[in-house]
Amino acid sequence: MSATFVQPDQEDQEDQFEHPILTMEITMDKPLISVLMALALLLPSHVFAETLTKNRFSDAELVEIMKNDGYSAVSRLKDGVITIRVDGVSYGLLNNRDGDLQTYYAISDANISYEDVNEWNRTMRLSRAYLDADKDPTLEADLLANGGLSQKNVTEFFKVFLGSVKRFREFVVKQSAD
């Protein structure tokens, strides 16, 4: 690739009130273009798929994305609700109509106070906790679709949530013992 800067002729400048504009002519040799195009075609399609952004994934696409990331027990429970089992524990992945994704996890039969939940929310990032209608500690997180979603965003979001759940379970066990 070569670049050449061209300055307008002096005669053209006399009629202008502004500074002369520099323009850049870019030329590229045809063999170089051919090589670059061939390399792009040789890349696996999943390389592009991981970075391709969408405003929304369908439930079927989310199931496929999670299975492709190594989660074998993934299923669509109903419209907008996907369950993922990891090491015998179930997690919910909610697919909202606006494209936002939400993860969900709850612990049944744990004794934890509202103050403990507030402590979690005050000191932890990337998730939020609450006591559900049955007073079960629940953890959720959101992935907003505003800037677009990629397969990589979805899988990394879920991995981060799994880390939050691990810490949340430890927290709940500790608080329940106190």
Domain ranges of the chain: 2-42, 57-177
pLDDT score at 38: 59
pLDDT score at 36: 59
pLDDT score at 40: 58
Q: Record the pTM.
A: 0.72
pLDDT score at 53: 87
DSSP three-state, residue 96? coil
pLDDT score at 178: 78
pLDDT in tens, the chain (178 residues): 444 444 445 554 444 444 444 444 445 556 666 655 555 556 555 554 556 889 999 999 999 999 999 999 999 999 999 999 999 999 999 999 999 999 999 999 898 999 999 999 999 999 999 999 999 999 999 999 998 999 999 999 999 999 999 999 999 999 988 7
pLDDT score at 101: 98
pLDDT score at 109: 86
Residue with tokens 């049944």: 108
Give rounded-to-5 percent helix, strand, coil for the chain.
40, 25, 35
Q: For the chain, give the longest Cα–Cα distance.
A: 87
CATH class of this structure's domain 57-177: alpha beta
Give the residue from 45, 48, 140 showing the smallest Cα distance to 100: 140
Report the alpha-carbon angle 149-150-156, nearest 5.
100
